[in-house]
Structure 1
Amino acid sequence: MEDANKPRAPIKGRGAASYVHGRYAVTTTEGTDDGWGSVYEDSDDTPRPRTTVTEERARSIVSHNDSPDIGFAASVNPYRGCEHGCVYCFARPSHAYLDLSPGLDFETKLFAKTNAAERLRSELARPSYRCTPIALGINTDAYQPIERRYRITRQCLEVLAETKHPLSFITKSALIERDLDLLAAMARERLVSVYFSITTLDNHLAAKMEPRASAPHAKLRAMKALADASVPVGVMAAPMIPMINDRELEHILEAAYEHGARAAGYVLLRLPHELKQIWREWLELHYPDRAAHVMSLVQQMRGGKDYDSAFGKRMRGEGPFAQLLQQRFAKAYARIGFGRLPPLDSSRFTPPRPLSPQGELF
């Protein structure tokens, strides 16, 4: 008997295909096919999921981590959820903390921290604050589409520029070009670096995997614009997925270098928590002929499981296929001529004056 809860077709403009239940959900719902048509059947009368944005006031904005395989210790996330809809996004399970679906809710029910710049200024002004480079927009992209309207990332960037605080970006969006005036000025003082995450150079594949992120050619164009303005730029070929995009690894690195990237990295597909189900649904809808083979290779790189979260393994995997990928990357990295981006300078940081109800008297 056919499963009535299984999606029958992708949803245009969305990465996830269903409302996968979060692991903390108290109540869940199930669709049942009563014989009058599938609960997932698409028609002109069935509205597609619309994006909604909830404005919220953050109590704190700078997050800290001590993970040994992550290259930053502090981060700021202006938004929760991400409209880019990348089906492979490791951050999707974070929506479960809100009692929302890591599936469609993650890319349609977004939260904007409208006081982020205010909180950032306040936290940087604390006497106990110690400057370390901030990664701006890590859990979700700081330059996702709603940033055009809310400009929260721009406001945070202005605070960091004013205080000469170093920062870095990883983004999938060409919208970062909008802030080139601030980025170029900060780059002259070694205060900023930018990595572009490029998963594929194939527009058709990108439209399936990351439907509302910038197209591959737009990312490369933005990369060149930043590099031409002397902003240090790198590329993350991520995630690498066996039998889906792994064959593009060298081509991504070559294209990025031609457009100004001078550092590079890669990350293997990660499937924590609910992302396992979301990814399997996507595979069955888009590549049913190879879905089992893809997951077999993924499990071979994860000790027989869909995912291994152990530090040192979660980014690179293990086994012959993972080793081959690592060797290919190392050879391409050396052949193309990649190196390291200049280190960021924390010595220039000047704490902002705390906001005072009396204003500035002197």
Structure 2
Amino acid sequence: MRHLFDLPLHYPIIQAPMAGGASSPQLVAAACEAGALGSLACGILSPEQMVQQAQHIRTLTQHAFAMNLFILPEPTPPSAPSLQAAKLWLEPAFNQLGLDFPTVPTWSQSFHAQFETLLQLQPAIASFAFGILTSAQAQALQQKNIRIIGTANSPAHLQAWLDVGADAVVLQGIEAGGHRGGPTELAIEDEYHNLDLLQACRAITDKPLISAGGISQAQQVQDYLAHGADAVQIGTAFLCATESGASSVMKQALWDKRHQKTRLTRLFSGKNARGIENTWMQTLAAYEQDALPYPYQNALTSPMRAWADRHQQAEYLSLWAGTGVAHMRQQSVAEILQYLYSDMDIDCA
């Protein structure tokens, strides 16, 4: 048995929070029941949805789980000139699919409202991406005995989280699927590969460090633990799991395309995220630097992605996946965890 904080875990594995539905209550609970730490992605959930899904998890497992939020400014519309500039190239692309340029009622959830709901729900662990908590927010969590996990893409990010009292930090290498989760955006040439990031950060602190990005095989888990990680965080390997909340269209597309290359793009959300390359990314590649920042681009493409899912048009879905996507498995969470921790000489008894 291994421990993360005071949690006894059979597997030193955190199921990554994956916004957009994949991290369903069933997936989170299944990870916890199997002996890992499940994580509920709450970044795009309303406070009411956070309550409903946390309550659902608690009907499925008595084990502790994590809840993850995006630290974002309070929602405001983009400037009229920037929206008009985006419309010039997005509207023709939407029109080719028979879609209108959308009118967005809400650009993002209120982090303040989400954070207050998090405090009320009082999960054992809260993890965060896209920003840094204030000292007051960290203290509010600590007063509720909620452990804090930050996300870092660099040693500087790690130090920022340590400075506000994080209990542990996820170290997200360039191989990770989905969004870059650190508090500031790094130039591509300044991004770290997973193992390099772990080694650079282990020299800074003895607090728990969690490696994330491209980890999809048992040998990789063993390697990161041997190099000083206290646990690993894994998302892509669970996308096609039986309990995954990803839509059937998304699951089939990921499975069919699992041997194709992945790359970073801003074209779906306005924030660099790794996914399997498809038509949307290829045809609009010239506009990568013109995408509005998150959450604006994300809100503008949301209706298109919903349309693509309804009409089985995976070429217009954000197929977020890490570099280990070829090793994903169509099995239950328990079976995938057993595979990820099999044939290892690290004691997990």
| TM-score normalised to structure 1 length | 0.35
The structure with more helix, counted as a fraction of residues? 2
